[in-house]
């Protein structure tokens, strides 16, 4: 829908005129999610009157303070956008124009005001708006109302900070294990911070305007060190505390062995394919994959990657691992740089994998990326049970093949006290391919229509504290 307003000055004197749009949404959007484009991405948070957002305080002046000239709301499979380019003010969520003088006999017409309704969620709304040629900003990058640096695992003594990404000032407090560590006023350019202390799992409470969000964190006192090396066959080695990882860079960066407390948790054929080898180069393990328009995979195993060690500090912990890089130049796949990282987090049985694809020419051909993992918790695929975020009450056994479903943000394959949990990043769709008695294949999948990074975190466990750590990771998803 498009509308506009016009005012004729029929008087004998100059009149001052401005426009405001009083917009809203119906009951079908309750409870609603407010959509606010910011410079760093799209804020999509449940609307709470006078809190998220407080229009008078949070976005009080110019539309230019937003990432794009629009706002919106989403409800249950419904969404609505108000699009108002040319309206340079935004007051109490109402688009407006500056006050101007209108001479006698003159007419002032407002800029057009648009409304777009979609029988679908946020993604459907944005794609329809883009198809109309509207400027919707960087909506694919989601930014939360609360801005903090809490992660599932952090080193004891790390500083934690809290702010929020809107303009209005609010009272804030951080408490660790029930003990207040800092208080103050926060907004987009002002934060409070304090240090985490202790060891093991603790609850961190982030309070903003008397609303507390409690997030569990595992604090590591003495994390140890990740060791790297190569074995006699040329495989890359990673080890730390309870876990040992083997990677074959010449087989598409294939993670073909992960041993926890001396027990193999990865079902893989190496160095030769087994009877289950319908996946090329061979069946199982954890590995990256890139395919073209018709799903045909690029044979990474036919090219030797550039290989180097990497390390980075994450919340006081030094993640260390191997980086493998392929440079692809092919008419069906394009000119691509593909980075595959495999690393360990010290102090916990956590493996991190990351696949990044970027077009060196700037042009992306149709195709897909995926990170695949075939797992056997506790050394066997027999009698394992699959559960996940998407179907929390579902327990899928191993006696029947054929299940293929969207897992949500995490999935768990458990056998007795042993388990593997996988957690997906922001990009991509997390699938399970259930091969019945042959085991369970977890896959993070996405198209590479732009620069894309697929992040997967794998947690291996066989003890009570591992299960507690898994609950901490799930709370962060």
Can you give the three-state secondary structure of 373-434, one letter per residue? EEECHHHCCCCCEEEECCCCCCCECCCCEEEEEEEECEEEEEECCEEEEEEECCCCEEEEEE
The neighbour count for residue 31, using CB atoms within 10 Å, is 9
Within this chain, domains 146-220 and 227-475 share the same CATH topology? no
**Would you state the structure tokens that stand for residue 431, as one six-digit string?**
């699938």
CA atoms of 94 and 87, how far apart (whole Å): 10
CA atoms of 81 and 307, how far apart (whole Å): 47
CA atoms of 134 and 122, how far apart (whole Å): 15
Are 266 and 376 within 8 A, CB to CB? yes
The confidence score (pLDDT) of residue 477 equals: 86
Domain ranges for the chain, please list them.
Answer: 2-143, 146-220, 227-475
What is the topology classification, in CATH, of domain 227-475?
Answer: Beta-galactosidase; Chain A, domain 5 (2.70.98)
Q: In this predicted model, what pLDDT tens digit does every residue of 140-152 receive, in sequence order? A: 888 888 999 999 9
Nearest CA to 306 out of 291, 328, 282 is that of: 328
The architecture of the domain spanning 146-220 is: Sandwich (2.60)
The confidence score (pLDDT) of residue 401 equals: 59
Q: In this predicted model, what pLDDT tens digit does every residue of 194-211 receive, in sequence order? A: 999 989 999 999 999 888
- Beta strand pairing status for 142-143 and 41-46? parallel
Residue 93 φ then ψ, to 5°: 70, 5
Q: Which pTM does this prediction carry?
A: 0.85
Residues in contact with 378: Cβ distance below 8 Å, sequence separation at least 6, in sequence order: 263, 265, 415, 416, 417, 418, 462
Q: In this predicted model, what pLDDT tens digit does every residue of 305-345 receive, in sequence order? A: 999 999 999 888 999 999 999 998 888 888 889 999 999 99
**Would you state the structure tokens that stand for residue 105, as one six-digit string?**
């006999």
Q: In this predicted model, what pLDDT tens digit does every residue of 229-286 receive, in sequence order? A: 998 888 999 999 899 999 999 888 999 999 999 999 998 888 776 665 556 555 678 9
Q: Residue 15: pLDDT above 80?
A: yes
**Would you state the structure tokens that stand for residue 284, as one six-digit string?**
């199982």
How many separate helices (H) and strands (E) can be counted in the chain? 3, 39
Rounded mean pLDDT of 463-467? 95
Element (H, E) at 46: strand 41-46
Rounded mean pLDDT of 414-421? 92
CA atoms of 469 and 477, how far apart (whole Å): 13
300, burial (CB in 10 Å: exposed 0-12, middle 13-18, buried 19+): buried
């Amino acid at each position: 829908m498009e509308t506009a307003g016009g005012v004729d000055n029929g008087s004998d004197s100059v009149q001052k005129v401005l426009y405001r749009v009083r917009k809203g949404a119906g009951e079908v959007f309750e409870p609603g999610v407010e959509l606010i484009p910011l410079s760093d991405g799209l804020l999509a948070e449940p609307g709470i009157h006078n809190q998220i957002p407080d229009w008078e305080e949070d976005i009080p002046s110019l539309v230019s303070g937003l990432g794009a000239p629009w706002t919106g709301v989403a409800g249950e499979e419904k969404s609505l956008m108000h699009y108002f380019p040319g309206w340079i003010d935004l007051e109490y969520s109402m688009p407006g124009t500056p006050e101007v003088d209108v001479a006698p006999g003159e007419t002032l017409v407002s800029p057009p005001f648009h409304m777009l309704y979609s029988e679908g969620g946020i993604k459907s709304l944005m794609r329809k708006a883009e198809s109309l040629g509207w400027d919707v900003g960087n909506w694919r990058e989601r930014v939360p109302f609360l801005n903090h640096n809490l992660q599932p695992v952090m080193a004891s003594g790390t500083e934690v900070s809290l702010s929020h990404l809107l303009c209005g000032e609010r009272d804030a407090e951080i408490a660790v294990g029930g003990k207040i560590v800092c208080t103050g006023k926060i907004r987009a350019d002002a934060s409070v911070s304090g240090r985490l202390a202790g060891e093991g799992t603790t609850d961190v409470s982030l309070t903003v305007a008397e609303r507390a969000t409690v997030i569990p964190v595992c604090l590591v006192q003495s994390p140890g060190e990740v060791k790297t090396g190569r074995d006699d066959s040329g495989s890359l080695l990673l080890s730390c505390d309870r876990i040992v990882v083997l990677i074959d860079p010449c087989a598409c960066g294939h993670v073909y062995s992960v041993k926890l407390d001396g027990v193999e948790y990865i079902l893989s054929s190496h160095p030769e394919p087994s009877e289950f080898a319908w996946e090329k180069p061979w069946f199982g393990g954890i590995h990256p994959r890139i395919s073209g328009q018709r799903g045909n995979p690029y044979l990474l195993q036919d090219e030797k990657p550039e290989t180097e060690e990497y390390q980075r500090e994450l919340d006081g912990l030094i993640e260390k691992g191997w980086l493998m890089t392929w440079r692809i130049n092919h008419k069906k796949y394009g000119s691509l740089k593909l980075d595959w990282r495999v690393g360990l987090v010290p102090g916990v049985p956590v493996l991190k994998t990351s696949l990044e694809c970027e077009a060196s020419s700037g042009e992306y051909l149709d195709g897909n990326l995926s990170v695949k993992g075939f797992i056997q918790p506790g050394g066997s695929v027999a009698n394992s049970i699959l559960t996940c975020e998407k179907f929390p009450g579902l327990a899928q056994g191993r006696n029947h093949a054929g299940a293929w479903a969207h897992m949500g943000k995490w999935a768990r394959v458990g056998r007795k006290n042993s388990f593997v949990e996988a957690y997906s990043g922001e990009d991509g769709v997390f699938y399970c391919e259930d091969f019945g008695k042959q085991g369970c294949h977890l896959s993070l999948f996405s198209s590479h229509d732009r620069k894309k990074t697929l992040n997967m975190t794998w947690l291996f466990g066989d003890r009570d504290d591992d299960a507690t750590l898994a609950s901490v990771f799930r709370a962060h998803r």
